[in-house]
Amino acid sequence: MKPTRYSFLPLMACLLLAKPCISSAESEPDRLEWFRDAKFGMFIHFGASERGREKIGDLTPAERFEASVHDFNPVDFDADEWLRVAKDGGAKYIVFTAKHHDGFCKWDSALTEWDVMDQTEFKRDIVGELAEACEKTDVRLGLYYSIGDWYHPEFDPYFSNRNGFHYRPNPDAEITEYMKFMYAQIEELCVKYQPSLFWFDGSSGFRPPERKRLLGQQDLVNLLHSHGAISNSRLGDDDSLRYVDYLSMGDNQVPPGNIGLPFETAGTMNESWHYSEGDDHYQSVGKLLERLVMVVGRGGNYLLNVGPNAKGVIPEPAVERLEAMGDWLETHGEAIYGTEAGPHPHGMNWGTITQRRVGKNSRLYMNVVDWPEGGKFEFYGLDNKILDASLLDGGQTLDHTSEFDAAAGVNRLTIQVPETAPNEHVSVIALTVEGTASMEQARMQQSDGSIVLDAYTATMHDSEFVADKPRRAVDFKMFTVPLRGEGIMPGRMLSVDHFGEEGQALSWDFRVLEPGDYELSVVTIGEGHKDGRVRARVSGQEVENALLGGEEKRSIELPPHLKETFSVLGTVKISNPGMQTLTMEVAAEFPGFAPRIRGVRLTPLAE
C-alpha cells in the first residue's frame, strides 16, 4: 500500500482535549538544570522490524517494511515495567524512538495514518502510555524524532541521511511540505505529551549550508522552548550550540577531557541499537560503569540504550546490567547526580573527578576505576587544603598527606587506602576541600608515569599561515562532523586530520613529575602508513619514524568497533621535572590518505 497523504489542518481542533502547554519558556539555566543534574538516562530503540523478510525476493524494500508495520504487535509491552527498569537502573530520564528513520509513528498522530493506531493490530498509543508511566515515577520523558523520513511522500531522497535512500521515492516530492508536516508533528508531541527533551537524528542530509536553512533551527528550538522542552545538537549538527541546548557526541564516544559544553554520550550495551536476537555481545557492568564515570567526570550525561524485543520486553541481560548499575548508584549516586566536571580539564589514568559545592567548601569525588596497588592513592595538582578524606561507601576515614614539589611545580597528595578496592567496579574516594576547588590546568604526568597528549587540544601549526583559523581543533567547536578547510583540521572521533604535509606540526606543553626514559608513540585511528614519516622533538632530543602501526588497543573513549594504533617513533630521555614542550611534525609527506591523529603517548621504561 502507499502511505496516505498528510494534511496540515491546524492542531487546535484535534488537540483541544490534550494537556495544556506551558505558557512561557523557562530561562536557559532553568531549562537545562534538570538535564545537568540527571547525568544518566535510558535510551529505548523500539519499532517495526524487517528481520526475517530480507530473503523474500518478490518483495520490494517498501513492501517488506509495510508488512513489518502491519505485523507490529508487541503484546507484552508494559510501559510501567519499562519505567521500573529505568528507575531501578538509576536513570533519571528516558528517550524513546517516537519516530525513527522509517517514518513509522508510535503514537496516535492526527497528522498521518502511518502510525501505530491506524496500521497495526496493537492499536495502543505507546508514547502516551510512556508519558503516563513517567509521571508516576518522576522519570523525565524524552522523545527521539528522526528528521530523515524514508517513507513520507514529500521527503525528497536528495535530503536523505542514507545516500538518497527512500522506500517509495517520489519524483515530485517537495521538501518544504515535509517540513510543515515535521513542525506540526513536533508541536503535536509537545502539546499531547509534554516531553522534556527532543532527541533529533537523521539530519546529515542537511549538512550543506544551503540545505541547513530549510531546517529553520531557531524557529524549531523556539517552539520546543515554548513548551518547556530542550533539544540536542543533531538538529542540523549544531555542535557549537548556536541554537540548541546540548551536544550529542558521536555514538559510543567519550571526549578525552572537559570540552566546556553540556553534552551527552549515547551508547549501546551490546553492538545493536534495536533488538537483535543474535547479538549477545553485552559489555560487562564494570565497563558500563567506567563509561558512566568517564562521561560524568568530563561534564556530560550518559544515555544507555536498551532494545526491547518484538513482544515489547527488554532483554534480561540488559535488565540485569541496569539493576547492577542501579545498585552501584544507590551507594555512590552522590558522586554522580547533580555534580559538575572535576577541576582538572584533562584525562587521568585511574578514572575521573566529579565535584559539588558544600556551603563555602567543595566536595571532590575520585571515581577510581583502576585501584592502586600497595595501599597508596597518589594524586597531583590539587591546590586546596583538604578538610576530610573518606570512602564514599561506608564513610571510612582515610589518612592523607600533601606536600609541594618545588621542582615539578605542583602539590603531591598521597591518600592511604585499603589494599583491596572497596567496590569491584568503581570505588569512590570523597575529599572535602577548603573553598572553591582549584587544580593544575596543564597536562600532567599520570600516577602510573605515563604522559598522554591529546591531539584535539594540541596547538596546530600549518605549513602556511591561515587567517582567522583557530589554533586548536577543540576551538572549532565541532565534535561530531569532520570539517573541511585549509591545513590541519578536526577529524572524526575527536582526531586531527589532514596532517600529512611537510611543514605541518602539532605541539603540547605538559608537566613532568618523574624524569626518566620514555618510549614515544603516536596514537592514530586505523591501520599504519608505510609512506610518510613523523618527527618528534622534546627535551632537546628528536626521534623520527614512519607510522607503521604496532600495538592496538580498545579505548573507553571510542566505539567498540574502533581501536587506537600505537606507532613507536623511538626513545627519549627527560632529565628534569617541570614544564616541557613536545613538537611533532611531518618529516616526509604522506601521499593520499593522511593519518588520523589521536595524540602522543610517552610510556616510562623500566629501570
What is the C-alpha separation between 29 and 520, in angstroms, rounded?
44
Q: What pLDDT score was predicted for residue 58?
A: 77
* Burial (0-12, 13-18, 19+ Cβ within 10 Å), 522: buried
The answer to whether residues 139 and 187 touch, using CB atoms and an 8 Å cutoff, is no
Report the DSSP beta bridge partners of residue 180. none
Smallest CA-to-CA distance from 145 within 86, 72, 232 is with: 232
Write down the domain spans for the chain. Answer: 340-441, 451-604
Rounded to two decimals, the pTM is: 0.94
Report how far apart, in Å, the C-alpha atoms of 17 and of each of 13, 38, 191, 192 are.
Answer: 9, 31, 10, 9
Smallest CA-to-CA distance from 371 within 323, 433, 415, 437 is with: 415
- All three cell numbers of 365, joined, read 569525588
User: In this structure, what are the phi and psi dihedrals at residue 459, rounded to the nearest 5 degrees?
Assistant: -80, 125
The answer to whether residues 495 and 599 touch, using CB atoms and an 8 Å cutoff, is no
What is the C-alpha separation between 59 and 52, in angstroms, rounded?
12
The answer to whether residues 273 and 538 touch, using CB atoms and an 8 Å cutoff, is no
Q: Which residues have C-beta within 8 Å of that of residue 67, sequence separation ≥ 6?
A: 53, 59
Q: What pLDDT score was predicted for residue 294?
A: 98
Smallest CA-to-CA distance from 111 within 239, 212, 9, 26 is with: 9
**Centroid of chain to Cα 570:** 34
Smallest CA-to-CA distance from 291 within 553, 597, 39, 478 is with: 39
- For 340-441, CATH gives 2.60.40
Give pLDDT < 70 ranges for the chain.
Answer: 1-29, 50-57, 607
Q: What pLDDT score was predicted for residue 234?
A: 97
340-441 shares its CATH topology with 451-604: no
The answer to whether residues 308 and 72 touch, using CB atoms and an 8 Å cutoff, is no
- All three cell numbers of 314, joined, read 527488554
What is the C-alpha separation between 503 and 517, in angstroms, rounded?
28
What is the C-alpha separation between 381 and 404, in angstroms, rounded?
9
Q: Which amino acid appears at position 428 of this protein?
A: V
Smallest CA-to-CA distance from 112 within 12, 4, 193, 187 is with: 4
Report the DSSP beta bridge partners of residue 412. 380, 403
Q: Which amino acid appears at position 304 of this protein?
A: L
Element (H, E) at 37: helix 28-38
What is the C-alpha separation between 241 and 243, in angstroms, rounded?
5
Q: What pLDDT score was predicted for residue 22?
A: 38
Element (H, E) at 225: helix 217-226
* CATH architecture classification, 451-604: Sandwich (2.60)
The answer to whether residues 565 and 552 touch, using CB atoms and an 8 Å cutoff, is yes
Per-residue pLDDT of 182-196, as tens digits, reads 999 999 999 999 999
What is the C-alpha separation between 67 and 53, in angstroms, rounded?
9
Q: What pLDDT score was predicted for residue 241?
A: 96
10 Å Cβ neighbour count for 138? 9
The pairs formed by 588-592 with CB atoms below 8 angstroms and a separation of 24 or more are 588/502, 588/531, 588/532, 588/533, 589/500, 589/501, 589/502, 589/532, 590/499, 590/500, 590/501, 590/529, 590/531, 590/532, 591/500, 591/531, 591/532, 592/531
DSSP H helices, 463-539, are: none
Strand 564-574 and strand 551-553: the pairing is antiparallel
Q: In which region does residue 521 sit, left (phi positive, over 0), alpha (psi from -120 to 50) or beta (all else)?
A: beta
Q: What pLDDT score was predicted for residue 9?
A: 41
Q: What pLDDT score was predicted for residue 191?
A: 98
- All three cell numbers of 95, joined, read 528517550
- Which 3 state secondary structure label does DSSP give 132? helix
Angle CA 375–376–380, to nearest 5: 165
The answer to whether residues 398 and 392 touch, using CB atoms and an 8 Å cutoff, is no
- All three cell numbers of 506, joined, read 602539532
Q: Which amino acid appears at position 385 of this protein?
A: K
10 Å Cβ neighbour count for 418? 12
Annotate 436-449 with three-state secondary structure: CCCECCCEECCCCC
* Burial (0-12, 13-18, 19+ Cβ within 10 Å), 53: middle
